[in-house]
Amino acid sequence: MTSFAAAEQALRRLELTIARRLDGMLHGAHRGLLPGPGSEYGDSRPYVPGEDDVRRMDWAVTARTGTAHVRDLVADRELETWALADLSASMDFGTEEMDKRGLAVAAVAAVGFLSGRAGDRFGACVLHGAHVHRMPARAGRAALYGLLHSLMDAPRGGAVPDAPGLAEAVEVLGSARRNRGLRVVVSDFLDAEPVLDPAAERAWERPMRRLAARHDVLAVEVLDPRELVLPPGGTVSFADPETGRVRQVRLSRRVSEKYAEAAALQRRGTASALRRAGVSHLVLRTDRDWVLDVAQFVLRRRRTARAAHRLPTSGARR
């Protein structure tokens, strides 16, 4: 009971953080993922020069207030959001106050709380141990809390023989629901056998491309700073959480430089593969303010979406 109460308190603090720092910027009716932004008129809001289409100007409110207003278009149908949470052994690593698994759960919670406020149903697939677990999509705060409790209570374990990889988990996510919607993949995108060539195809790349052909996909890459740069000097024992192999390495300057070079290549390869798959890419680090990173990413994406939905006006008048 004590652990449940502690998890409940942690979730409430997380929800409060998201509500205070994200909801004011991001809350509102979402655009439809089907062609076009929707056909039903929503609320009026102040006009933003350079971002809003003047053809959606709300002249009645503009005349009444003396300030230019536009009317938002809301999605034509309810959306269903699904997240894939990678809780494999490599996600248990962390050298900061929050480890990668905790950051992954926080990212899933942020998507869940924000989509729940828009009225969407929220479901999840969890890559953990020897299986990919599927949690059905449901609406409401109680259902989301139950899902997040399951993620937080998932036991931490070592290497599991013949465990499914990220590619299999993405396939399961793609089969979860045929209707179009938002799909979020939260992982460190570390393969059992590292691939450092940025041009090489990753095992999960084709499943991700198939997923993006039907859905709007966001890939959230979770990183810890120690995966990018080694500590200075000394002899360090490295343990591979996916395979259980342990190796001692003397950290010379050359070794540290080679490690940093390999880590940069791996990250570059992940970004290239996600770009080829046609998905959006958000990087969250355990040593950074992840809420700020999420807010900045979504605001940039909204500006891009508004620009994409705004029809060209050059050449309209002859």
Q: What is the CATH number of the domain that holds 161?
A: 3.40.50.410
> Around 273, how many Cα atoms within 13 Å sit in the side-chain half-sphere?
25
Does 89 lie in the same domain as 62? no
List the domain range (segments joined by +) for residue 88: 80-295
Give yes or no for residue 293 having a pLDDT over 60. Answer: yes
Does 270 lie in the same domain as 194? yes
What pLDDT does residue 86 have? Answer: 95
Does 16 lie in the same domain as 154? no
Task: Express each pLDDT in 218-246 by its tens digit.
Answer: 999 999 999 999 877 778 887 777 677 88
Does 122 lie in the same domain as 39? no
In a domain, 305, yes or no: no
Rounded to the nearest integer, the mean pLDDT of the chain is: 81
Does 279 lie in the same domain as 197? yes
pTM for the model? 0.77
Does 59 lie in the same domain as 187? no
Last residue of a domain, one of 35, 59, 76: 76
Answer for the pair 97, 123: CB distance below 8 angstroms, yes or no.
no
pLDDT grade for 158, boundaries at 50, 70 and 90: low
